[in-house]
Amino acid sequence: MDLNQLRTAIALVQHRTVNQTAAALGLAPSSVSDRIRRLEEALGASLFTRDRSGMHPTAAARAYLTSAGAALEALDAAAERLHAAPGLTVGAQASIADELLPAVLDDLRRARPGLHVQLRPDPDRIRILAALDHGEIDVAVLLDLGEHVGDLGFAHPAKAIEYLDVREVPMTVVVSPDHPLLGRAVTMREIRQTGGLIGRESRCSFWMATKRWLGPDTDLTAVGGLAQVREWVATGRGIALLPTFTVRADLGSRRLAQLDVQPPPLQLRLVWRSDHKDANALRHLLYALTQL
């Protein structure tokens, strides 16, 4: 069956006469009549009756052409998606999605103006990496450091991957405004000896960063979410190593204070599978970020 024949029959229902349908479609009236005849032959049924007012679909034909019209709309929409701008699905840790990711996505759009980016935030890094392994996302955005994905302290992905570090994420050691270590430079040893180090939980990037900076045997207490960590610090119940972006407002309001020590930054890391179906294009796209 020729889809143009279907489209002509649907148009004839709307315009009612062969001449008006021909004018609307930019065809000769004989071409409209020929398409209708061929469609009826293919279907083995008459679709229209004729009287002085024009062409009228039979009840069965009206139902058929209504369904066919919906099917054609779906096909047209699928064709538009097929030829639409390329898409990229990005999985990101929820803790960084709001603060750090918008700038990266803006850079991606500048590198490829027609790129459509779909963001899938998730608080669980394990689920993000599993989605990457299963091909459910194209790129994962993580906080990490070192020469391999997972050197921060989490499990390495199962699939062969590549990565690109696009931003340093400064870290800050925060304490209550009246903490005794304030007002002078301090060392990591002093921080460890002071004790009371707190964090979110053992799978958290900030927790892993504290262990990597101060040592794997550093005693840390899990207190829940980021808001709880900041509350414990503000009330003098502990010390925490956190990304600067998460405590900027608290430092500005003097609810928290910053120790005079320089912990190493984390890296905002883009990770993708080496065997991605568009690995070369993806690699070139992401590496374009380094040129912006």
Q: pLDDT tens for residues 66-78?
A: 999 888 888 877 6
Cα–Cα nearest to 221, from 195, 243, 245: 195
User: Which of the listed ranges 77-81, 145-149, 166-170, 255-259 does the model predict with the highest average pLDDT?
Assistant: 255-259
* Helical spans, DSSP H, in the chain: 3-15, 18-25, 29-43, 59-82, 94-97, 101-111, 125-133, 188-194, 205-214, 226-234, 244-252, 279-287
Cα–Cα nearest to 148, from 167, 135, 161: 161
Of 87 and 140, the one with more pLDDT: 140
Q: Is the pLDDT of residue 142 over 60?
A: yes
Q: Is the pLDDT of residue 278 over 90?
A: no
Q: Is the pLDDT of residue 268 over 80?
A: yes
Residue written as token pair 């599993």? 130
Task: Provide the pLDDT for residue 292.
Answer: 47
**pLDDT tens digits for 159-193?**
788 998 988 999 999 999 999 999 999 999 999 88
- Residue 30 to residue 245: CA distance in whole angstroms: 71
196 Cβ partners below 8 Å, 6+ apart?
221, 237, 238, 239
Contact assessment for residue 40 and residue 78, using Cβ atoms and an 8 Å cutoff: no
**pLDDT tens digits for 196-253?**
999 999 989 999 999 999 999 999 999 988 899 999 999 999 999 999 999 999 999 9
**What confidence tier does 288 reach under pLDDT thresholds 50, 70, 90?**
low
Q: Is the pLDDT of residue 84 over 60?
A: no
**pLDDT tens digits for 15-66?**
989 999 999 888 898 999 999 999 999 899 999 998 888 889 999 999 999 9
DSSP-derived 3-state class of residue 119: strand
Q: Is the pLDDT of residue 259 over 60?
A: yes
**What confidence tier does 289 reach under pLDDT thresholds 50, 70, 90?**
low
Mean pLDDT in residue range 88-95: 84
248 φ/ψ angles, rounded to the nearest 5 degrees? -60, -45
Q: Is the pLDDT of residue 3 over 60?
A: yes
